[in-house]
Amino acid sequence: MDAKLNTDVACNDREVWLTALYKKAFPLVATHVCRMGGSFDDARDVFQDALVIYYEKSTQRELTLKHSDKAYVFGIARYLWNKRYKESTKQLSIDQLNADFDEEAGLIDVAKQEISSSRLFKLLQTAGQKCMELLSAFYYEKLSMEKVGERFGFSGPRSATVQKFKCLEKIKETVKEKSLSYEDILE
Amino acid sequence: MKTSLNELLLIEDFLLTNPSGEEKTLMQARLLLQPELQESIYWQQKTYRLVETYGREQFRKEITEVHRKLFTAPEHLSFRQMIMRLFSK
């Protein structure tokens, strides 16, 4: 079996892992999309969405990996291609596609609002960047507190846990204050 | 008013783990005694969504950078040519 995603990989390792998976799986997706009449850009778009979905499912432990990572990414990309370009003329968001994929695969559907364009999100990307990076390592990448501690230079998992909750408190307060003043969190 | 650590932990356990029936009942009882907790749950859930969106965007940036390297760096020329041949037919 191909090397599977180790969810505790460090940033540099993630680039190595991504590059290797890109080289293994993208030719399959490009061949399929090309045969179905799609362009290079179409292949790139569905492949990159498939990588995001595969990564998120892997970190959430929602996949029991019985096949190679290449096979999973290809399967997801093929599904996305069929959904996006054959069944629908409109562009669907990745959250919608992710939800549809979950429905098909019998996975849990967590509805999410598109919030990346909000003023609040932009503020958090700049003013709250350090905390967002730490929280993302734990809540998105699902790294252990040991790994979070190593990445951010804390003395140990206990110290990392304390900082994580301080950041959660700070960001939550910002979200509340700014949402009430901007009123655009869901714009 | 700032959220206490206990409240953050309580809400985190409720939102991010699968609470049992007993835990759900306990939370409903807490909400009756402490109605402002509902609002706190709402903001914490929003925070988690924003963090997930942030994480996803960072990951997308990494993917874009890997793509850029694969389709520009000299060491990946043969890979690039193999893909481009598919679309030149």
Confidence tier at A119 by pLDDT (50, 70, 90): confident
The CA distances from residue A183 to A111, A119, A122, in Å, are: 20, 9, 14
DSSP state of A67: S
Express each pLDDT in A37-54 by its tens digit.
899 999 999 999 999 999
Give the helix/strand (H/E) hosting A130: helix A129-139
The type of residue at A175 is V
CA distance A153 to A144: 14
| Mean pLDDT on A60-77 | 82
Q: What is the pLDDT of residue A118?
A: 76
**Banded model confidence at residue A65, pLDDT cuts 50, 70, 90:** low
More confident residue, B22 or A103: B22
Where does the pLDDT of residue A104 fall: very low under 50, low under 70, confident under 90, or very high at 90 and above?
Answer: low
Predicted local distance difference test score (pLDDT) of residue A151: 93
| Four-point Cα dihedral A60, A62, A64, A68, nearest 10 | -70
Q: Are A72 and A54 in contact (CB under 8 A)?
A: yes
Amino acid A43: pLDDT = 96
Report whether pLDDT(A91) > 90.
Answer: no
pLDDT of the residue at A13: 82
Interface of B with A in 48-77 (CB under 8 A): 48-60, 62-67, 69-70, 76
Q: Which amino acid is at A88?
A: S
More confident residue, A127 or B39: B39
Instruction: State the amino acid at position A109 in one-letter form.
Output: D
Inter-chain contact B47–A171, Cβ cutoff 8 Å? yes
What pLDDT does residue A4 have?
Answer: 44
Cβ-Cβ contacts under 8 Å, A172 against chain B: 3, 8, 43-44, 47
Q: What is the pLDDT of residue A66?
A: 72
CA–CA dist B52, B14 (Å, integer): 18
Cα(B40)–Cα(B31) distance, integer angstroms: 11
In chain A, the percentage of residues whose pLDDT exceeds 70 is: 71
pLDDT of residue B2: 59
Res A92: pLDDT: 62
The structural domain count of chain B equals 1
Mean pLDDT for chain A overall:
81
Token digits for A166? 């301080």
Mean pLDDT of A69-80: 93
B10 Cα to chain A: minimum distance (Å): 12
User: How much is the ipTM here?
Assistant: 0.87
State which residues form the domain around B59: 5-88
Residue A30 has pLDDT above 70, yes or no: yes
Name the token pair of A178. 């700014």
The pLDDT score that the predictor gives to residue B84 is 95
Q: Where are the domains of chain A?
A: 11-105, 119-182
Which residues in chain B show pLDDT less than 50? 1
For residues B70 and B65, what is the distance between their CA atoms, to the nearest angstrom? 9
Q: Do A27 and B83 meet the contact criterion of CB atoms below 8 Å apart?
A: yes
Q: Cβ separation of A173 and B60 shorter than 8 Å?
A: no
- So what's the pLDDT on residue B18? 82
Average pLDDT estimate for A76-101: 73
**Secondary structure class of A65 (helix, strand, coil):** coil
Residue type, A20: A
More confident residue, A82 or A186: A82
Task: Please enumerate residues of A whose Cβ is less than 8 A from a Cβ of B.
Answer: 14-15, 18-19, 22-23, 26-27, 30-31, 34, 39-40, 44, 48, 51-52, 55-56, 112-113, 115-116, 120-121, 124-125, 132-133, 135-136, 139-141, 165, 168-169, 171-173, 175-176, 179, 185
